[in-house]
Amino acid sequence: MLKPEADVRTTAPAADGPAALEIRDLSVSFRTSSGDVDAVRGVDITVRSGTTHAIVGESGSGKSVTMMGVLGLLPEEAQVSGSIRYLGKELVDAAPAELRAVRGAEIGVIFQDPLSSLNPVMTVGAQILESMTAHRGTAAGATWKRAAELLAEVGIPEAERRVKEYPHQFSGGMRQRVMIAMALAAEPRVLIADEATTALDVTVQAQILRLVQRITAERSMTTIWISHDLGVVAQIADDITVMQSGRVVERGSCHDIFAAPREAYTIALLESMPRLDAPLRELPPRATATGTAAVDVRDLEVAYQVKRGLRTGNRLVRAVDDVSLEIAAGETVGLVGESGSGKSTFARALLGLEPMRHGTVHLAGQDVAGARRASLSALRRNAQMVFQDPSSSMNPGLSVQEIVTEPLLINHRMSASGRRARAAELLELVELDPQLARRHPHQLSGGQRQRVAIARALSLEPSLLVCDEPVSALDVTVQTQILGLLRRLQADLGVSLLVISHDLAVIRDIAHRVAVMYLGKIVEVGDREAIFGSPQHPYTRALLGAVPTPDPTKRFPPTPLQGDPPSPLSPPPGCRFHSRCPAAVIGRCDTTVPTLTAWTPTHDVACVRLGEPELTRQT
Amino acid sequence: MTPKPPSPSHPKTTGIPTVSFRARLAPRELTRPAPRDYTRLIGIVGAVIVGSLVLVAIFAPLIAPYDPTIRAGAPFSPPSAAHLLGTNDVGQDILSELIFGTRVSLMVGVVAASAAMLVGTAIGLVGGYFPRVGSIIMRGVDVVLVLPFLPLLIVLSAYLGRSVLNTILVIAFLIWAPTARVIRSQVLSLSRRDYVTAARSMNARDGYIIRRHVLPRTFLLAIGEFVAATSAAILLESSLSFLGLGDPLQKSWGSVLYWAQARGAFLTPAWQWWVVPPGLLIMLAALGFALLGYALEQKINPRLRRA
């Protein structure tokens, strides 16, 4: 698939404007105890002034290492050769002082995780001030007023007051805005965003993308956007460089690359990305028998006591609040929602990993809540879980065989030799070479590890497989394979799946039915065609509207959804979504708690204004 | 660290004129040498010290020139060919005393540290795996941690009486708490891993999870703690014996110092052969175990490991 690097083609002449940043033949290698690792091998990138340049690639492609090189932030073990020029000034062996004059002052950075990039014991205003004085070498002009102006510029309401607050008092999206304000503090001409929206919910991501676009346009800045997400890139980039294994595979203008990718790797990337505008994929047929549902949840509530101050006493947080959901045998139900919506808690409660406050859970017709320990264990074997991150969900000290057969060992099924045979069977079932049984998890790739995790979950032949974000830790090309495997396993084994994801495109690719959760409640549930074809709830519509389409000709309309999801500690009264809902009517939505009502026989919606013609117009 | 030769696998690609950059393309060595990692060396030095002391303890009867309990020469002899470190107040050979004393010092250190490690690991395990119980237990650990060491040591051994067993018990009682803290934090982290949750969802009981997923990766850490605790135990034993609270029938480095002090050797030229050698041995043993423990901990404890 990969051509020799001499064959890298340029789809369009990349350099017609003046270059802000020119990277020439950059190579970075790391000395490790097991030999040199070449992270970047001879990369050329030209970033035109005043444009947004996206560097796209999967994990290990060298895109972040390249940018760390630009910033002079590589670890000491790194060996760098080649040239990096910022406005003609060489950065590669610049003296630390020269480098500092550029980094931060001329080139600002936003990282992926705003929480770990902000100092928790300094107010955000102080951190912005620090960023101003550190780069200018003078405190002149670095005033709290200026800091507040910056916060206001990045869309933080009540900036005058919030400038004195600490990072933990901000939500995830707001923290990322603070990071942007810090990056802007020294008035840089170039902004580097390294996976800056990856950790955010889609509605917040859409807000941040618009914000960065607006600010960079207003200040005529150059932006370098590093991302694995082609959807995001299509929405904002002017030029694109595609990287793989430390080399540039393809470069060109955004429109050209999306319209006519030329390299096999780029084509594969674009094709494997699940997208909302692709034709609906054929799914294995659901079992038509009217037998008992694989899962029947009624009015499930999971709540935690949260300790607060002495005077205020403890508070009850309802992570899952009166949720009912049914999954038929052989059916896949997708559960979507932003972080904090309670979707993972719901799944864990199904498996008996979270205490239920009330409600009932029936697995294959048997009541889980009422079960005693012995029968509970029998029930648990009926439902197994696949976790988000395969590398953390397996003990690194065990071999693949031990991992795959662990459920058999725990439940005293089979002898050691029987387990060995079963391990081989299971590995074949998930399309892995049985030879891998003797390996350890760290010797496997991410995709292989997730297959092992699936094999482990299947070893007890459960009737329900709960997959919590099964592909979100994987590269897109691997995602497609894992989703394909899950569909095939369902067709072959008739297992029911509950797939939890924040990624609507993934859900659309695998689920027969979809449930949308917001702050512990299901707001809309229905067949895939109904949810993606004619969503009724304003939240579902906003979610769908916020997903970046990997097509530069279809850039975002203004996103209707503002703000962040409120804290589950103090959910808004009435309809929990009303505080962000563009169609909310004060007096109704904040007083009446909507219940799930049948819109069509296979489509339930919980909205007070369901069916009103204005609802459709306003959202 | 040699500069990388220009890699022939990166011929210039098409599209962008790069000739003008050629001058800048010479490979350069830009990195400062990474700070050397001395952990290995430290570990080897520690292991050599500890190893030699253990050999001396095992082969004491073969190495020692005299029986340390008999009168081998004139009292208060300065060093001579017959008595390399001279003799003490009753004419016993000091070198032989020190060689045999290695046995007691090491034995007390190792046994007390083992006991402390067992107790500390058990308490850390319970405290980490069952956080509710743990939060109560760990308050007890905090109390032990803040107890003033030496006064308590003196009071306890004076009360319990002077015997090797009591010395071991008292020392073990004083040094298990830090181990419990370290083990607890590791268990806390391990028992919240996804794979433990995964095992729970497969219906695993606590016993299985502890055996299979928690203990194996805690055990290594306990070994590092054990070596460090031995160092502390040896120092404590010496202090006790020096204060005359050790077993009067056993010769250890501390008790040699005790007699040196009691007979005024600190004030006469005899300090050179009666006081300095046991002091150096105590220091050497504590250092050896501490170095070994440090190296082991660096290797084992993931939190200290360099990225």
For residue B218, being part of any structural domain is answered with yes
**The amino acid at A257:** I
Q: Where residue A311 sits, what CATH number does that domain have?
A: 3.40.50.300
- A55 SS3 class: strand
Helices B215-242 and B276-300, packing angle to 10 deg = 170
pLDDT band at B36 (very low <50, low <70, confident <90, very high): low
Average per-residue pLDDT for chain B:
81
Stated pTM of the model: 0.79
First vs last Cα of chain B: how many Å apart? 20
Check residue A335 and report its DSSP letter. E
Long-range contacts (CB closer than 8 Å, 24 or more residues apart) made by A584-588: A585/A609
Domain identity same for A340 and A267: no
Domain identity same for A604 and A480: yes
* CB contact at 8 A, A343 and A500: yes
Q: How far apart are CA A490 and CA A513, in angstroms?
A: 15
Tell me if B34 and A385 make a contact (CB, 8 A cut-off). Answer: no
Tell me if A406 and B199 make a contact (CB, 8 A cut-off). Answer: yes
Percent of chain B whose pLDDT exceeds 90: 24
Q: Is A604 left (phi over 0), alpha (psi -120 to 50) or beta?
A: beta
Dihedral sign from CA coordinates of A473, A479, A482, A483: positive
Residue of chain B whose alpha carbon sits nearest to that of A377: B203
- Mean pLDDT, to the nearest integer, of B257-275? 84
Strand segments, DSSP code E, in A417-541 are: 464-468, 496-501, 513-518, 521-527
Report the DSSP beta bridge partners of residue A252. A240
Residue B155 sits at φ, ψ, to 5 deg, of -60, -45
pLDDT band at A130 (very low <50, low <70, confident <90, very high): confident
Contacts of A41 in chain B (CB under 8 A): 7, 9-10
Q: Residue A375: what pLDDT? A: 63
- Tally of structural domains, chain B: 1
Q: How far apart are CA A175 and CA A173, in angstroms?
A: 5
* CB contact at 8 A, A66 and A27: no
For residue B23, being part of any structural domain is answered with no
For residue B8, being part of any structural domain is answered with no
A367's enclosing H/E stretch is: strand A366-367
* CB contact at 8 A, B102 and B74: no
Q: Report the gap between the CA of A311 and the closest CA in chain B (Å).
A: 23
Tokens standing for residue A375: 């029968």
A385's enclosing H/E stretch is: strand A383-386
- Tally of structural domains, chain A: 2
Q: Residue A276: what pLDDT? A: 85
- Mean pLDDT, to the nearest integer, of A455-484? 90
Q: Report the gap between the CA of B1 and the closest CA in chain A (Å).
A: 9
Q: Residue A376: what pLDDT? A: 66
Domain identity same for A267 and A299: no
Most confident of A199-203, A334-338, A569-573, B13-17: A334-338
pLDDT band at A140 (very low <50, low <70, confident <90, very high): low
Tokens standing for residue A19: 């270059």
Tell me if B198 and A82 make a contact (CB, 8 A cut-off). Answer: no
Kindly tell me if the per-residue pLDDT of B13 is higher than 70.
no
ipTM over 0.95: no
Tokens standing for residue A583: 């169609």
Q: Residue B28: what pLDDT? A: 37
Q: Report the gap between the CA of A47 and the closest CA in chain B (Å).
A: 12
Tell me if A393 and B202 make a contact (CB, 8 A cut-off). Answer: no
CB pairs under 8 A between A and B: 125
For residue B210, being part of any structural domain is answered with yes
Report the DSSP beta bridge partners of residue B126. none
Non-local (6+) Cβ contacts of A293 within 8 A are: A326, A327, A328, A329, A362, A365
Tell me if B28 and A80 make a contact (CB, 8 A cut-off). Answer: yes
Which ranges of A253-385 would DSSP assign to H, the alpha helix?
Answer: 254-259, 264-272, 343-350, 373-380
Q: Where residue B78 sits, what CATH number does that domain have?
A: 1.10.3720.10
Tell me if B16 and A14 make a contact (CB, 8 A cut-off). Answer: yes
Q: Report the gap between the CA of B257 and the closest CA in chain A (Å).
A: 47
Domain identity same for A63 and A94: yes
Non-local (6+) Cβ contacts of A442 within 8 A are: A391, A396
pLDDT band at A310 (very low <50, low <70, confident <90, very high): low
Kindly tell me if the per-residue pLDDT of A307 is higher than 80.
no
For residue A406, being part of any structural domain is answered with no
Q: Is residue A77 less than 8 Å (CB to CB) from chain B?
A: yes
Domain identity same for A587 and A539: yes
* CB contact at 8 A, A453 and A386: yes
Give residues 245 to 304 of A whose Cβ lies within 8 Å of B: 248, 251
Tell me if B216 and A397 make a contact (CB, 8 A cut-off). Answer: yes
The lowest-confidence range among A152-156, B120-124, B300-304 is B300-304
Contacts of A461 in chain B (CB under 8 A): none
- In the numeric block, the tokens 């009926």 are attached to A382
| Spatial CA neighbour of B102 closest among B54, B136, B171, B33 | B54
Instruction: State the maximum Cα–Cα separation within chain A, in Å, rounded to a whole number.
Output: 76
Domain identity same for A300 and A367: yes
Tokens standing for residue A317: 């947080």
- A289 SS3 class: coil
Q: Residue A449: what pLDDT? A: 93
For residue A324, being part of any structural domain is answered with yes
Domain identity same for A489 and A558: yes
pLDDT band at B303 (very low <50, low <70, confident <90, very high): low
Residue A556 sits at φ, ψ, to 5 deg, of -50, 135
For residue A531, being part of any structural domain is answered with yes
CA angle B275, B276, B282 (to 5 degrees): 95
Tokens standing for residue A72: 């002079």
Q: Report the gap between the CA of B15 and the closest CA in chain A (Å).
A: 6
For residue B34, being part of any structural domain is answered with no
* CB contact at 8 A, B239 and B153: yes
- In whole angstroms, how far apart are CA A490 and each of A296, A336, A364, A498, B167? 19, 20, 17, 11, 66
Q: How far apart are CA A102 and CA A411, in angstroms?
A: 61
pLDDT band at A46 (very low <50, low <70, confident <90, very high): very high
Q: What is the pLDDT of residues B173-195, one digit of tens each?
A: 888 998 899 899 989 988 888 89
Q: Is residue A345 less than 8 Å (CB to CB) from chain B?
A: no
- In the numeric block, the tokens 């309670």 are attached to A342
Q: Residue A371: what pLDDT? A: 58
- Selecting from B1, B27, B202 the residue whose C-beta is nearest the C-beta of A410 gives B202
Tell me if B197 and A353 make a contact (CB, 8 A cut-off). Answer: yes
Burial B140-154 (b: 16+ CB within 10 A, else e): ebeebeeeeeeeebe
Q: How far apart are CA A536 and CA A326, in angstroms?
A: 20
- Residue B59 burial by Cβ neighbours in a 10 Å radius (0-12, 13-18, 19+): exposed
Report the DSSP beta bridge partners of residue A386. A467
Q: What is the pLDDT of residues A333-365, one digit of tens each?
A: 999 988 888 898 998 888 888 888 888 888 877
Domain span at residue A339 reads 295-382+462-618
Kindly tell me if the per-residue pLDDT of B37 is higher than 80.
no
pLDDT band at A618 (very low <50, low <70, confident <90, very high): low
- Mean pLDDT, to the nearest integer, of A498-517? 92
* CB contact at 8 A, B60 and B100: yes
Contacts of A406 in chain B (CB under 8 A): 199, 202
pLDDT band at A264 (very low <50, low <70, confident <90, very high): very high
The lowest-confidence range among A434-438, A446-450, B31-35 is B31-35
Q: Report the gap between the CA of B116 and the closest CA in chain A (Å).
A: 27
Tell me if B21 and A25 make a contact (CB, 8 A cut-off). Answer: yes
Tell me if B4 and A351 make a contact (CB, 8 A cut-off). Answer: no
Q: Residue A99: what pLDDT? A: 83
The lowest-confidence range among A15-29, A77-91, A118-132, A521-535 is A15-29
Domain span at residue B119 reads 60-300
Long-range contacts (CB closer than 8 Å, 24 or more residues apart) made by A96-102: A96/A72, A99/A72, A100/A135
Q: What's chain A's Rg over C-alpha atoms?
A: 26
Q: Residue A98: what pLDDT? A: 83
Strand segments, DSSP code E, in A286-357 are: 295-306, 315-327, 332-336
Q: Residue B63: what pLDDT? A: 87
Q: How far apart are CA A400 and CA A405, in angstroms?
A: 9
- Mean pLDDT, to the nearest integer, of A410-432? 89
Kindly tell me if the per-residue pLDDT of A193 is higher than 80.
yes
Q: Residue B30: what pLDDT? A: 41
Contacts of B18 in chain A (CB under 8 A): 24-25, 44
Domain identity same for A473 and A355: yes
- Selecting from A14, A31, A41 the residue whose C-beta is nearest the C-beta of B15 gives A14
Average per-residue pLDDT for chain A:
85
Q: How far apart are CA A106 and CA A132, in angstroms?
A: 12
Contacts of B9 in chain A (CB under 8 A): 5, 41-42
The last residue of a domain, from among A272, A306, A334 = A272
Q: Is residue A440 less than 8 Å (CB to CB) from chain B?
A: no
Q: How far apart are CA A171 and CA B180, in angstroms?
A: 37
Q: Residue B27: what pLDDT? A: 35
Contacts of A5 in chain B (CB under 8 A): 9-11, 13
CA angle A109, A113, A115 (to 5 degrees): 110
Non-local (6+) Cβ contacts of B274 within 8 A are: B85, B86, B88, B94, B256, B260, B265
- Selecting from B9, B34, B195 the residue whose C-beta is nearest the C-beta of A77 gives B34
Domain identity same for A359 and A503: yes
| Spatial CA neighbour of A9 closest among A246, A256, A238 | A256
* CB contact at 8 A, B44 and B52: no
- Mean pLDDT, to the nearest integer, of A204-210? 88
The last residue of a domain, from among A272, A306, A331 = A272
Domain identity same for A560 and A468: yes
Beta-carbon count within 10 A of A544 CB? 17
pLDDT band at A138 (very low <50, low <70, confident <90, very high): low
pLDDT band at A537 (very low <50, low <70, confident <90, very high): very high
* CB contact at 8 A, A528 and A508: yes
A161 HSE (CA, 13 A, CB side): 4
Contacts of B32 in chain A (CB under 8 A): 76
Domain identity same for A612 and A467: yes
pLDDT band at B216 (very low <50, low <70, confident <90, very high): confident
- Mean pLDDT, to the nearest integer, of B89-109? 89
Kindly tell me if the per-residue pLDDT of B88 is higher than 50.
yes
Dihedral sign from CA coordinates of A133, A139, A144, A150: negative
Tokens standing for residue A63: 């895109």
For residue B106, being part of any structural domain is answered with yes
A294 HSE (CA, 13 A, CB side): 27
For residue B48, being part of any structural domain is answered with no
Beta-carbon count within 10 A of A339 CB? 14
Q: Residue A565: what pLDDT? A: 78
- Residue A121 burial by Cβ neighbours in a 10 Å radius (0-12, 13-18, 19+): exposed
| Spatial CA neighbour of A520 closest among A571, A472, A563, A562 | A571
pLDDT band at A136 (very low <50, low <70, confident <90, very high): low
Non-local (6+) Cβ contacts of A18 within 8 A are: A48, A49
First vs last Cα of chain A: how many Å apart? 44
Domain identity same for A246 and A376: no
| Spatial CA neighbour of A188 closest among A198, A180, A176 | A180
Percent of chain A whose pLDDT exceeds 90: 29
For residue A211, being part of any structural domain is answered with no
- Residue A570 burial by Cβ neighbours in a 10 Å radius (0-12, 13-18, 19+): exposed
pLDDT band at A315 (very low <50, low <70, confident <90, very high): confident
* CB contact at 8 A, A233 and A195: no
Q: Is residue A411 less than 8 Å (CB to CB) from chain B?
A: yes
For residue A143, being part of any structural domain is answered with no
For residue B14, being part of any structural domain is answered with no
